[in-house]
Amino acid sequence: MGLVDTHCHLQTDRFDEDRDEILARSREALDWLVVIGDTLASSEAGVALCGDGIYAAVGVHPYHPEEVIEAGLTKLRELAARPGVVAIGEIGLDYYKYNDAPPEAQQAAFRAQLELAVELDLPVVIHNRESEDDLSSILDEYHQSLPGGILHCFAGSDAYLERGLGWGFHISFAGNVTFPKAQELRDRAVDVPFDRLLIETDSPYLAPQPVRGKRCEPAYVRHTAETLAEVKGVSYDELVAQTAANAARLFRIPVEKSQAES
Ligand code: NI
């Protein structure tokens, strides 16, 4: 089994000029990838890219709780029924100072989408920024009804990591784990059981160290895989095979299919 990217935003306008090239390079470098939604429109655009090794998650980011009204949920339900949709996300909470969506509105949108994931029996892709306490108490309520989840682009505390593992969730690391100053984050990765570890790019953001500052793309996930292989003390091939198997199991992507497509 080859590399997979469990989290990228290939539908954003930063790829408008050369998306076909990026898609071709991604297909060459990876077995498969998941395009993640953050608004209703980007969720729909992600679903439109599905097929031939491309899967999608649909959901509304905590920056846009105003989209998660009845009509928005109906739209997400419709999109989630399309072929290739494997998760609800990215959803969660974001209390960073530049986000002016009120916490109460974010929490309501988060809960509504968690309920949708329970209803549709889909795993969730979780975004957290400076909101560990509220996010954790909400997930304490829902995790048992969900078929799994991902703490995406993990950069949280030890306590949050422990809680996430307690929920049975997977922990996904992005390019920031390769940064020289990220030793603390690499130390956390040591504590993630190998069968719960995932890798992602979050492209176009967070290009790994060797390509830092560039627009990130899915093929760069190999740099994150190299770093995590060192951190876990396994070979690169082992790291790639294990993280791909973890992702396939969580997203229920048949391995035979992903191999045939590679
Ligand atoms: Ni993202």
- Strand arrangement, sheet containing 124-129: 4-8, 32-36, 54-58, 85-94, 124-129, 149-151, 170-173, 197-199
Q: Is the pLDDT of residue 86 over 70?
A: yes
CA of 8 to the centre of ligand 1 (A): 6
CA of 198 to the centre of ligand 1 (A): 14
CA of 36 to the centre of ligand 1 (A): 7
Q: Per the confidence metrics, is the pTM higher than 0.85? A: yes
Residue 33: both structure tokens together:
């990838």
CA of 241 to the centre of ligand 1 (A): 23
In percent, how much of the chain has pLDDT > 90? 95
CA of 6 to the centre of ligand 1 (A): 10
CA of 191 to the centre of ligand 1 (A): 23
Amino acid 202: pLDDT: 97
Instruction: Kindly state the DSSP code that residue 12 receives in the 8-state scheme.
Output: S
In percent, how much of the chain has pLDDT > 70? 97
Q: Classify each residue of 218-256 as buried b or exposed e, where b means 16 or more C-beta atoms within 10 Å of its C-beta.
A: bbbbbbbbbbbbebbeeeeeebbebbbebbbebbebeee
Binned at pLDDT 50, 70 and 90, residue 256 comes out as low
CA distance 68 to 116: 11
Amino acid 103: pLDDT: 96
Residue type, 119: E
Amino acid 262: pLDDT: 44
CA distance 220 to 212: 10
Contact at 8 Å (CB) between 113 and 72? no
CA of 63 to the centre of ligand 1 (A): 12
Q: Is the pLDDT of residue 259 over 80?
A: no
CA of 130 to the centre of ligand 1 (A): 16
